[in-house]
């Protein structure tokens, strides 16, 4: 998939507009064999100050565990962003084109008492002003480990 293929798709996706305010997402983690391993809900509170988008994410997993992650994204060009959150190794970077956003980053994934460096190829597609689809492929050494699939609702 190439980001440019979405350049004429509407509505135009601007992260700072969509994620400003309250957003709710529901999703699953699917392993490389197609088995759903976890499902979860995320409540997101976003603020935009003209340069930085701060996204405070509160996860609740199907087993009752909770997780908090805070993203700080900087708009570095018309359609370009970079950012970080706890667990991200270096900077996440990506771009928008039309209704799509693609970014890539490495992440220290905690599993039990260990952490494993994995890579994410993360795609988001704005469906209308309220709904967003997110598919993130997780890999290690180029081998797909699984996918995170999310549906966001802005209502």
SS3 string, 94-155, reads: EEEECCEEEEEEEEEEEECCEEEEEEEEEEEEECCCCEEEEEEEEEECCEEEEEEEEEEECC
pLDDT tens digits, one per residue of 21-49: 999 999 999 999 999 999 999 999 999 99
Query: Rounded to 5 degrees, what are φ and ψ at 18?
Result: -65, -45
- Here the tokens at position 7 are 């350049």
Residue 16, helix vs strand vs coil: helix
CA dist list (Å): 8 to 4, 98, 104: 9, 5, 22
Q: Which two tokens stand for residue 147?
A: 């996918």
What is the predicted pLDDT for the residue at 67?
94
Domains in the chain: boundaries: 3-153
User: Cα separation of 57 and 69, whole Å?
Assistant: 5
**Confidence at residue 129, expressed as pLDDT on a 0 to 100 scale:** 86
Q: What is the pLDDT of residue 19?
A: 97
pLDDT in single tens digits along all 155 residues of the chain = 999 999 999 999 999 999 999 999 999 999 999 999 999 999 999 999 999 999 999 999 999 999 999 999 999 999 999 999 999 999 999 999 999 999 999 999 888 889 999 999 999 999 998 999 999 999 999 999 999 999 999 97
d(C-alpha 51, C-alpha 120), whole Å? 24
CATH of domain 3-153: 2.40.128.20
């Amino acid at each position: 998939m190439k980001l440019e293929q979405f350049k004429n798709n509407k509505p135009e996706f601007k992260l700072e507009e969509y994620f400003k305010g309250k957003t709710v997402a529901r999703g699953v983690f699917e392993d490389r064999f197609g088995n759903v391993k976890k499902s979860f809900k995320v409540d997101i509170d976003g603020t935009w100050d003209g340069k930085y988008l701060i996204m405070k994410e509160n996860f609740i997993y199907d087993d009752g565990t909770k997780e908090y992650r805070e993203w700080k994204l900087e708009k570095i060009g018309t359609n370009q962003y970079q950012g970080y959150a706890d667990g991200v190794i270096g900077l996440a970077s990506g771009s928008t084109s039309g209704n799509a956003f693609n970014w890539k980053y490495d992440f220290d994934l905690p599993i039990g008492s260990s952490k494993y460096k994995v890579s994410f190829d993360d795609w988001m597609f704005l469906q209308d002003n309220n709904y967003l689809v997110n598919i993130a492929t997780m890999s290690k050494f180029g081998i797909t480990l699984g996918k995170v699939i999310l549906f966001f609702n802005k209502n």
